[in-house]
A and B are shown apart, each in its own frame.
Chain A
């Protein structure tokens, strides 16, 4: 042996206490003086420590497995009926008649009543258990095989049920050493198998071999380090040469292992991915749930008549569980309505995706996988119900039931699921009924609650829409009236001045008619000046009138003024007002090409009031008696509301200041209103986008199936919503 290996051997002997006397002393001294050797010893000790851990693992796993199985059994699992389950953890000595099997000795006839035995029958000692045929019994072998033996499962040769004492015998070969030592093969008709464990069962009553009632099977769980797919149960055929050939394979139904339901993903395929692409925090389950479950409101069938923008709600019509998307004015030019029968109501997912369904078939990775496919199914709601109505059955049976529906192209997928032979999670009939009732009640409640929240929200929005409309109408009326009054007043001022310049006496002006065509005209010249003044005022062009008789001129100048607000685009809104001293109301200056332009009447003094709105604050500039010229780069300064009012009062008289304040208040309200509308539009855009990703079977949108990313061409239908915000909230108690 190479020197290094000899060193390892010596270290092993030291650590095992097999090194003694002087040899040990010398070696310890050598270790003390040699750091390399010290490192070797330390590492080898660690390896042995690791080996100890490895050797403990199977026992611990067995104990874990047994613990879970016992707890599961005690909760009424394994399909066992009745009470009086006797749990055995030790071997019993058979206390009835002389045992037929004892150690490695064998009865004359085997379990099939024949004289043939294999070498393995003699090589492996029997473990005998005394079982009461009339009671449910659980047995654990030395190797950890757990057997659930239901009451009345044994039949004698005449087919009669056996009660009383039964000798139940097990021989097991679960590890490689035992299999090899006992001459057992791992071949089936010459083909090599990978074994998960071998065992032999026999049951005797008064020496006679018993059969097992096929309607009451014995349930066996063989411990394993890892479950491998494709494991089957083979029956052993004794061959003439004493070997055993494995034949008649049957798929093993392996029980499903429930996991924490809150770790599973029941959203539609790619739902979270799309949300992540849109910038949402998909780790926030409260948010992602809110986005998804809010769509349950779309499953309420609207029987009542639509009145204006209010959509009246009815109760959930269970006969017609279809998705209905409606949008009413003012958020859409037309009232849109589309429906899809294939969509799963998110309220149904909410009803099952909770702790109520822990430790059921729903709380398994296997169901999670199927749900991803169900979301795409053309009969998605019905397919989901097939699973939910059969929670006590093995999954492969439910898969077959699902495949038997008219699923068209989806049938193949469910048949493939069935072929996996996935088992069940045991629940009692009582639990099944309770869960069904819970589900049926809850999904309807959630749907109505979601619809109610939506209705309340949009109802409120409709009220606000109406109020805003009223406010705008009133403002429009008031503004028009104010403009008319201003016009009349300015006309009057201009006409008076024009007449004065021409030489008309004031007394003549007293009879000046109002600026309409309903009075008699006395003097031709007067009529012309009237028209000239009106025309000049209407166009805000300089009046330059010459009296035909006297040759006297009347000139009233209009001079342009412009205002340019610094950084105007940074504000949500900017307004510029001129407050004339001789008119009752302010003038709203129009914006043209980035500037606010007007023409000033030389007969009137104007004060300037500029206001900008940004982030809920007001920014102001004021100036008295402005000149008719360009006013560039006007800086607005932030000012609280009360100061604005004071500024206005200093700028003009109380009455006009009040009017400007009212206008200011209106503009602020309009700003908020625009934000509200924008948010609602954004909300609807988000809802429409969510509909496309939440209901993959939606008509007209071909979203990719699971395990395939959506193609680029499809993304035109699934655009990131513009400045999307959270949807209409789903209240906590829904």
Chain B
């Protein structure tokens, strides 16, 4: 599967095949992270975070691939790991050379931008089960509110709609609070 194919699959929402292909780059990332003081668990976490960042980036309208997908993915992993090492107050053992064709500043901006989204994700994970289930059925399952209402036992479609927005409101308020306390992000 070529890089262009992978991009097309991702943009079409057919993530599974694309992700399976991208996961073949994992061993290189694991090697890099382990060589720089990380564990295998660190490598898995970093790689999965990088996949999220990359996929969201690839879906951005107007995104153009300059270097190879693996190069982009690897660069994201590197920067994520460097950030992690800084947080752990450690130095990288290996000096990283430049990766051809990648503007690291762009990637750094993407990583920084993802900080808020990570917080929002945690907020959503901690929502009440019914709230989370409703949101997932709507956004992931792409179920109509009418069907959600029936499945979850709401009296009507309107009730389900109201409930959906209440759940979004709960999540939004928590995120707003965080944004207020962390204006630097």
Contact = CB atoms under 8 A, between A and B. Distances in A.
Given A5-B162, A49-B116, A50-B117, A64 B48 contact: yes
B15 interface: yes
Contacts of A47: 120, 123-124, 168, 171-172, 175
Contact of B119 (A5, A40, A50, A66): A50
Nearest to B172: A43
Contacts of B158: 1
B23 A177 contact: no
B6 to A, nearest CB: 12
Contacts, number: 126
B140 interface: yes
Contacts of B137: 176-177
A67 B172 contact: no
Interface string A53-66: 11111011111101
A40 B172 contact: yes
B121 A53 contact: yes
Contacts of B175: 43, 46-47, 50
Contacts of A54: 121, 124-125, 136
Contacts of B96: none
A88 interface: no
Interface string A172-212: 00011100100000000000000000000000000000000
Contacts of B173: 43
Contacts of B20: 63, 66-67, 89
B3 interface: no
B19 A60 contact: yes
A39 B175 CA distance: 10
B19 to A, nearest CB: 4
Nearest to A58: B140
Contact of A5 (B117, B136, B166): B166
A43 B136 CA distance: 19
B51 A60 contact: yes
A623 interface: no
Pick the most buried of A8, A49, A50, A263: most chain B CB atoms within 10 A of its CB.
Answer: A50
A1 B120 contact: no
Contacts of A51: 120-121, 124, 135, 139
Contact of B44 (A1, A57, A64, A263): A64
Interface in B1-35: 15-17, 19-20, 22-24, 26
A60 B40 CA distance: 17
Interface string B65-102: 00000000000000000000000000000000000000
Given A1-B162, A5-B165, A67-B20, A177 B141 contact: yes
Given A52-B56, A60-B19, A44 B168 contact: yes
B23 A49 contact: no
B121 A177 contact: no
A658 to B, nearest CB: 59
Nearest to B113: A49
Which interface class (under 10, 10 to 19, 20 to 34, 35 or more) fits B?
35 or more
Question: What DSSP secondary structure best describes chain B's contact surface?
Answer: helix
B55 interface: yes
A47 to B, nearest CB: 5
Question: What DSSP secondary structure best describes chain A's contact surface?
Answer: helix
Interface in A157-174: none
A56 B135 contact: no
Interface string A21-57: 0000000000000000001101110110111111111
A60 B141 CA distance: 17
A64 B176 contact: no
A177 B51 contact: no
A179 to B, nearest CB: 10
A177 B143 contact: yes
A641 interface: no
A631 B24 CA distance: 87
A726 interface: no
A50 B118 contact: yes
B117 A49 contact: yes
Interface string B160-185: 01100110110111011001100000
Given A46-B116, A56-B15, A59-B19, A180 B176 contact: no
A180 B166 CA distance: 25
A260 interface: yes
A263 B34 CA distance: 13
A9 interface: yes
A59 B176 contact: no
Contact of B121 (A4, A9, A50): A50
Contacts of A39: 176, 179-180
B19 A5 contact: no
B16 A177 contact: no
A67 B26 contact: yes
A55 B142 CA distance: 12
B22 A63 contact: yes
B151 interface: yes
Contact of A44 (B24, B118, B172): B172
A263 B120 contact: no
A176 B165 contact: no
Nearest to B16: A59
B133 interface: yes
A56 B123 CA distance: 16
B40 A260 contact: yes
A89 B17 CA distance: 9
B151 A180 contact: yes
A175 B151 CA distance: 13
B17 to A, nearest CB: 8
A40 B23 contact: no
Contacts of B168: 8, 12, 44, 47
B156 interface: no
Interface string B118-161: 11111111000000010111011101000000010000001001
26 contacts: A1-B158, A1-B162, A39-B179, A42-B179, A43-B175, A43-B176, A43-B179, A46-B116, A46-B120, A46-B179, A47-B123, A50-B117, A50-B122, A50-B124, A50-B171, A50-B175, A51-B124, A56-B56, A59-B19, A60-B48, A63-B19, A176-B133, A176-B151, A177-B141, A260-B41, A263-B39
Interface of A: 1, 4-5, 8-9, 12, 39-40, 42-44, 46-47, 49-57, 59-64, 66-67, 89, 144, 175-177, 180, 259-260, 263
8 shortest A-B CB distances, which residue pairs? A50-B120, A63-B19, A49-B117, A50-B121, A5-B165, A43-B176, A67-B23, A53-B121
Given A5-B169, A53-B56, A59-B19, 20 more contacts: A5-B166, A9-B165, A12-B168, A39-B176, A40-B172, A42-B179, A47-B120, A47-B124, A49-B56, A49-B117, A52-B56, A52-B117, A55-B139, A59-B15, A60-B52, A64-B23, A64-B48, A66-B20, A180-B151, A259-B41
Interface of B: 15-17, 19-20, 22-24, 26, 39-41, 44, 48, 51-52, 55-56, 116-125, 133, 135-137, 139-141, 143, 151, 158, 161-162, 165-166, 168-169, 171-173, 175-176, 179-180
